């Protein structure tokens, strides 16, 4: 007779079938129950069970147009872990958001293990994965997907840990699941995301780890995040996996995204990089050259020489380009009015915005937005 106090899962169920009654005792660290109900009177007629993977499983949900690079960056580390450390490796299950076949943004078709409806049912029956990772397109804008929203809400309701990549993070924010939480998105949509969801603590970092709701900018940052997840299981196994994947130094989550406007300049003096980061942090409330030079501890003339030598522009010319690019992102990725776009980009009027915008892009903000909307409907 087993010692019930030492069993992590103990399930006792009465059953009735063909007039016989009995008692079934299930024990074991990974026993999973599934109740089968009688169709005629609703009584439980038997309880089925199986032994799940002892290390649990990670469900990777694929949205249409997902990033192939992001998927590979998640799958390969865990695949290697299962080969070298099967005793600690969780099973990886690919889940199609809509159907078992999902096409990536680059046209690669992936056959998943199951559809999202099956994952939802397992969540409802207490068979939650170690983590649900939702892999979407890297570049996205505001959207609402009922199927994805349902999956996310069920996962949270039943205590599953979630990590979103790319467009999936937009869905989390759109459904209000990220309020007051820290999160990250790809730098190309950072401006639009942070403007639209002002109640979310948006960070321009590689990934934001969390026990319950994590997020990742996607692409190669997914590899850093996957290695971090493995490190939470075994630091030694994570180091071996990184070595196998030729990763010399896995980046930590708080590392700034290299494509972020404040981090694009490489091989320039640190003083110049500091000045640009200051400009990026003051898009809506632009500083004058004197304020920037004072912050950097140099004279206005020294700052102007630095910009001219390395960026072939004056500080104010470069600053204006940053603000116009910010406006460009908001025009294409949000439905903000042009007045709001102008204010958020540090321009005193829509007329001034249109003038600078057309000089840089050959179109006014209205013309560019209209052209983008026409292209989207074709």
Does residue 205 register a pLDDT over 50?
Answer: yes
Query: Distance between CA atoms of 139 and 217, rounded to whole angstroms?
Result: 9
Query: Distance between CA atoms of 345 and 347, rounded to whole angstroms?
Result: 6
Does residue 8 register a pLDDT over 60?
Answer: no
* 57 touches 130 (CB < 8 A): yes
* 322 touches 356 (CB < 8 A): no
pLDDT at residue number 21: 39
Q: What residues form DSSP beta bridges with 48?
A: 34
Does residue 51 register a pLDDT over 60?
Answer: no
Phi, psi of 34 (to 5 degrees): -135, 115
Does residue 102 register a pLDDT over 50?
Answer: yes
pLDDT tens, position by position, 305-317: 999 999 999 999 9
Contacts 24+ apart (CB under 8 A), 308-316: 310/265, 310/268, 310/269, 310/272, 311/265, 311/268, 311/272, 315/275, 315/289, 316/289
Does residue 62 register a pLDDT over 90?
Answer: yes
- Spatial CB neighbours of 163, under 8 Å, sequence gap ≥ 6: 131, 132, 133, 134, 213, 214, 215, 216, 225
**pLDDT-based confidence at 40, cuts 50/70/90?**
very low
Query: Distance between CA atoms of 253 and 361, rounded to whole angstroms?
Result: 34
Q: Which among 120, 172, 124 is positioned nearest to 149, based on CA atoms? A: 172
pLDDT at residue number 375: 63
Does residue 28 register a pLDDT over 50?
Answer: no
Range 33-51 average pLDDT: 40
Does residue 68 register a pLDDT over 70?
Answer: yes
pLDDT at residue number 268: 83
**pLDDT-based confidence at 54, cuts 50/70/90?**
low
How do beta strands 114-115 and 91-96 pair? parallel
Instruction: Report which listed range, 135-149, 262-276, 288-302, is most confident.
Output: 288-302
- Helix, strand, or coil (residue 229): helix
**pLDDT-based confidence at 145, cuts 50/70/90?**
confident
Query: Distance between CA atoms of 72 and 70, rounded to whole angstroms?
Result: 6
Does residue 38 register a pLDDT over 80?
Answer: no
What sign for the dihedral angle of Cα 133, 134, 136, 139? negative
The angle subtended at Cα 68 by Cα 120 and Cα 184, nearest 5°, is 70
pLDDT at residue number 4: 35
Query: Distance between CA atoms of 180 and 372, rounded to whole angstroms?
Result: 32
Does residue 358 register a pLDDT over 60?
Answer: yes
pLDDT at residue number 43: 45
Range 187-200 average pLDDT: 90
Does residue 72 register a pLDDT over 50?
Answer: yes
């Amino acid at each position: 007779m087993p010692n019930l106090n030492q069993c992590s899962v103990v399930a006792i169920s009465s059953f009735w079938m063909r007039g016989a009654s009995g008692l079934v005792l299930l024990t074991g660290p990974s026993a999973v129950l599934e109740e089968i109900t009688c169709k005629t009177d609703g009584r439980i007629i038997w309880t089925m069970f199986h032994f799940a993977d002892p290390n649990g499983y990670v469900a990777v949900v694929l949205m249409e147009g997902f990033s192939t690079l992001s998927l590979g960056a998640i799958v390969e580390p865990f695949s290697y872990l299962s080969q070298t450390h099967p005793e600690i490796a969780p099973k990886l299950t690919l889940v199609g958001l809509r159907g078992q076949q999902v096409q990536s943004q680059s046209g690669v078709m992936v056959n998943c293990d199951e559809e999202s409806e099956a994952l939802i049912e397992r969540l409802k029956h207490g068979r939650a994965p170690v983590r649900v990772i939702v892999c979407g397109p890297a570049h996205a804008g505001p959207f609402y997907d009922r199927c994805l929203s349902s999956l996310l809400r069920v996962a949270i309701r039943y205590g599953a840990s979630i990590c979103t990549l790319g467009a999936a993070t937009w869905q989390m924010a759109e459904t209000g699941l990220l309020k007051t939480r820290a999160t990250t998105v790809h730098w190309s949509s950072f401006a639009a995301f942070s403007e639209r969801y002002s109640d979310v603590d948006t960070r321009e970092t590689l990934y934001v780890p969390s026990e319950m709701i994590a997020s990742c900018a996607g692409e190669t940052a997914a590899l850093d995040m996957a290695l971090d997840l493995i490190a939470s299981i075994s630091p030694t196994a994570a180091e071996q996996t990184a070595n196998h994947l030729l990763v010399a130094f896995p980046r930590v989550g708080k590392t700034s995204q290299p494509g972020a406007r404040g981090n694009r300049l490489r091989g320039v003096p640190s003083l110049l990089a500091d000045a640009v980061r200051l400009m990026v942090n003051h898009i809506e409330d632009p500083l004058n050259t004197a304020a920037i030079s004072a912050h950097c501890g140099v004279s206005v003339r020294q700052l102007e020489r630095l910009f001219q030598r390395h960026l072939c522009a004056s500080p104010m010319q470069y600053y204006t380009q940053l603000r116009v690019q910010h406006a460009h992102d908001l025009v294409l990725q949000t439905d903000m009015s042009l007045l709001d776009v102008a204010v958020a980009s540090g321009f005193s009027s829509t007329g001034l915005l249109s003038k600078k915008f057309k000089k840089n892009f050959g179109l006014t903000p209205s013309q560019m937005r209209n052209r983008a909307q026409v292209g989207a409907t074709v």
